[in-house]
Structure 1
Amino acid sequence: MLLFAGLGNPEPTYERHRHNIGFMVIDALAAHYTAPPFRKKHKGAISEIIIGGEKVLLLKPLTYMNLSGESISDAAHFYKLGGDAITIFHDEIDLAPMKLRVQKGGGAAGHNGIKSIIAHLGAAFPALRRVRLGVGRPQSDIKENVSDHVLGNFSPTDQDWLSPLLKALCEYAPLLIENRDALYQTRIAESLKPLKQGDV
């Protein structure tokens, strides 16, 4: 059993925010792999799918971003999952839109959701897989501008790459099950190249 968690904020007003791209991935996976309806458990919304013969729990923490670790650690402890069974999908301002990086552990780099997960998972965090999804930075790095950026909606033109990205994240998910992280990243990047929104 594996756990795929996406980070975001639960209220409808946040639904299209850049900060909620993790939730968008989980919803896309649920639709792509025909998940049953989400139910409230482990301080989040949870469902399950089968990818490549492996049961995968889908989790959207309902604690709000800054307390995401509470929900993820609760689910991990309940199902007795180590860090190597957990994948987190989250926004990354240090990557340009449409870029992604897959890595194990690492630092929070100012991301409060990741800070919370580090605090709650402790020694298990370095083995955890992160799929960092680029949303870019605002022109000014003033703290207020960065906050407004991630808590702003994706623009209508962003949909030109966002929808294909979500589709690719789902289609190539079996590579994550096989622990072929580098190939997962490469395949998605290759699938997005025709969009010509810049290097991926």
Structure 2
Amino acid sequence: MIVGLSNPKIDYHNTRHNVGSWFVYSLAKSYLKNLKKEKKFLGFTTSFSIESNYIRLLVPDIFMNINGHSILKMASFYNINLSEILIVHDDLELDPGIIKLKYSYGHNGHNGLRNIISVFNEKISFHRFRIGIGRPINRNQTASFVLSKPTENEKQLIQKSILHAIEENFILKILIR
């Protein structure tokens, strides 16, 4: 399962905090799939097969700090363990256009990750795909920064990194090992 962390689509889709969902929407598009609203999972979902592996995609359509509830609903329904889920999210520590994979337990201050750890109530590490959004100059403005739209240059860098990750299939290679 691949999850793009997000806030509600209508109000926040184009914000920095929703770049995880940008990745999932782009991935779905590359497999000619559309995400559809699934009320029982509190978000948008689709699925596809790659190399005999069935991949489920999820973009929660609830606030970031409760994304874990959406993920747990879908994971429980399909019997998917947290260790089998790739969480795609924004990262303040990376500049726009920089992407990194990480396997760890910690949340590093990210409210979406913090909620996932809390909801799953497991001390298990999980795969994370971090998409850089940079930091505001004034660290006291972090909340408004992540909830604002990136500059056109930042958006292009972020979109280019997402497309590169999809074209190289390195995210999927991790899931189907």
**TM-score, normalised via structure 1 length:** 0.80
- What corresponds to 2:48 in structure 1? 49
How many residues are paired up? Answer: 175
Larger Rg: 1
- What corresponds to 1:130 in structure 2? 128
Contact 2:5 2:89 in 1 (8 A): yes
- What corresponds to 2:156 in structure 1? 160
Query: What secondary structure, in the 3-state scheme, does the structure 2 residue paired with 1:153 have?
Result: coil
Query: What secondary structure, in the 3-state scheme, does the structure 2 residue paired with 1:50 have?
Result: strand
Q: CA deviation at 1:122?
A: 2.2
- What corresponds to 2:114 in structure 1? 115
Q: CA deviation at 1:113?
A: 0.5
1:58-112 Cα shifts (integer Å, max 9, x gaps): 1011221110000111111111111221000000101111112211123112111
Q: What stretches of structure 2 of length at least 5 have no aligned partner?
A: none
Q: Aligned partners of 1:141, 1:122: CA distance in 2, in Å?
A: 30
Q: Aligned partners of 2:175, 2:45: CA distance in 1, in Å?
A: 25
Q: How does 1:139-178 map to 2 (within 5 A)?
A: 139-142=137-140, 145-173=141-169, 175-178=170-173
Query: What secondary structure, in the 3-state scheme, does the structure 1 residue paired with 2:74 have?
Result: helix
**TM-score, normalised via structure 2 length:** 0.90
Does the C-alpha gap of structure 1 residues 37 and 103 become closer, same or farther in structure 2, counting only changes over 3 Å? Answer: closer
Percent identical residues: 27
1:166-188 Cα shifts (integer Å, max 9, x gaps): 21122223x3333289xxxxxxx
Q: Aligned partners of 1:76, 1:111: CA distance in 2, in Å?
A: 21
Q: For residue 108 of structure 2, what is the amino acid of its counterpart?
A: A
Does the C-alpha gap of structure 1 residues 25 and 35 become closer, same or farther in structure 2, counting only changes over 3 Å? Answer: same
Q: Aligned partners of 1:114, 1:39: CA distance in 2, in Å?
A: 22
- What corresponds to 1:25 in structure 2? 23
Contact 1:8 1:64 in 2 (8 A): yes
Contact 2:107 2:114 in 1 (8 A): yes
Does the C-alpha gap of structure 1 residues 168 and 19 become closer, same or farther in structure 2, counting only changes over 3 Å? Answer: same
Q: CA RMSD in A?
A: 1.9
- What corresponds to 2:8 in structure 1? 10
- What corresponds to 1:185 in structure 2? none
Contact 1:5 1:86 in 2 (8 A): yes
- What corresponds to 1:72 in structure 2? 71
